[in-house]
Amino acid sequence: MEDVKMLIEREIDALKEDIIASTIRLIKVRSVEDEPQEGMPFGKGVNDALVFCEELCRKLGFETKNFDGYALEARFGNQNEDVCVIGHLDIVPEGEGWSVPPYEGVIKDGKIYGRGAIDDKGPSIAALYGMYVVKKLAEEGKISLDRSLRFVFGTNEESGSKCLQYYFKKAKYPTVGFTPDADFPVIQGEKGFLVFELSKNVYGNFYLEGGERLNMVPDSCIFSGDFDLQKAKEIISKKNLEAKAEVYEQDGRGVIKTKGVSAHGSLPFKGENAISYMFDILQDLYEREDEFKRFIEFYNKHIGYDIFGKGLNIAFEDQKSGKLVLNAGMVKKFDDKVVLTVNIRYPVETVYEEIEKEILNVIKDYDVDYKLITDMPPLYFEEDHFLIKTLLDVYKEFTGDDGRPLVIGGGTYARWAKNVVAFGPNMPGDEEVAHQKDEYIAVDRLLMCAKIYANAIYRLAKKD
């Protein structure tokens, strides 16, 4: 095993410049979901990233197949069983406040900066080159494989994973595999992923919009209407929100813009919610006793700055996975209706019906409507499962860390692909930069991941 490990490390070191260059090239593609076009179900940007990866996979000697723009498959070998790695090419919008251009792949202080650098373009490139090294060593007769190799690039992980749902209607599920889209040592479980809308019919000539994606802590929210600008400034000052809100006049109307801090929706405690800042201000500013006032009161009493669901009576938790977390991700006024989109990650021992029951009980007093958008039940592997044990062993060989498997709030492709778990790239203690400004991956981490992933692929491809 040690000889193979050394072979892999030498091969990866020799590919260092190629790995860095491919990562930067992929970051340069703004693969944010956009309007669909023919053969491009998630827009041109996402498809451009898919096309680049298809060209790269062919260059690396893989057989490729494009699944109608939903996913790209790269293969090596013809065994009945396989090892599958699944990465995603789509990214969340860049947001505001970057100190470097978000789509240039700038290298500074040993880090590659750019949207998607850590989530999930850098890790996907690392894993692809890791699989390439295993393929190359097998072709040269230096190692033997009992399972074939498959790499899948998805295109819609950030917005519901419709890509994998489409792909697995046409392709078989993996025998075993991983997605490089979370944390080390290894992810044995993922909390339930719930999205719902809370809406209320409102009347009044005002504008309200905040948030760009349901799985991002919103860093901006705007309210526009007829109100006293001086009073708004006094309220903001009283609440010590001067750094979080600005007030100005535009086209004869008052405008309030609140500024939060973006973070991944599964980690709302890492960010600051601009929508919550806005509703806090509106609580004292909005004076009309109408339906919108009732919605403001509902938000502040039952959501507000709470990220654990206490106000909605859904603060569930368990020993396996910890606490439920809540992110009020988007709000918008549509004609005569205000709609709030909420994303919840719930513990592995909680069931959706318990959550729905408590929410419905709370909102009935406010005439707020509930609409389920998505519910993905929790995922959980026992610690003695072959896949968990193998990946944990590989991680320990490289790091010497005796860390235990984790359960996370983030949802990955593992939910849609049987026999797959999330594995890296974040190490214990890393700064959380996914979905945030100045996202990056360290060059050293990129190369270490390639080595870890190559060894994991090799180990999983052996039956003994």
- Residues assigned a catalytic role: 90, 157
How many beta carbons lie within 10 A of that of residue 135, not counting itself?
A: 24
**HEC assignment per residue over 39-59:** CECCCHHHHHHHHHHHHHHHH
User: Helix, strand, coil: what percent of the chain each, to 5?
Assistant: 35, 25, 40
DSSP-derived secondary structure for 154-170: ES-GGGT-HHHHHHTTT
Show Cβ contacts of residue 302 under 8 Å, excluding neighbours closer than 6 positions.
Answer: 311, 312, 362, 363
CA atoms within a 13 Å half-sphere pointing along the CA-CB vector of 98 = 21
Q: How far apart are CA 210 and CA 193, in angstroms?
A: 21
Q: How far apart are CA 88 and CA 50, in angstroms?
A: 10
Give the three-state DSSP class for 295: helix
Q: How far apart are CA 150 and CA 248, in angstroms?
A: 55
Q: How far apart are CA 345 and CA 435, in angstroms?
A: 17
| Tokens 């970051």 belong to residue | 27
DSSP letter for 266, please.
T
Q: Where are the beta strands (DSSP E) in 16-106?
A: 63-67, 71-76, 82-88
Across the beta sheet with 440-442, the strand order is 107-108, 111-113, 440-442
Per the CB < 8 A criterion, the answer to whether 46 and 31 are in contact is yes
Tell me the pairing of strands 111-113 and 63-67.
unpaired
Show Cβ contacts of residue 457 under 8 Å, excluding neighbours closer than 6 positions.
Answer: 83, 85, 127, 130, 131, 134, 149
Question: Is the bond into 425 cis (omega within 30 degrees of 0)?
Answer: yes
Per the CB < 8 A criterion, the answer to whether 119 and 439 are in contact is yes
Tell me the pairing of strands 425-426 and 182-183.
parallel
Alpha helix ranges (H) inside 303-385:
352-363
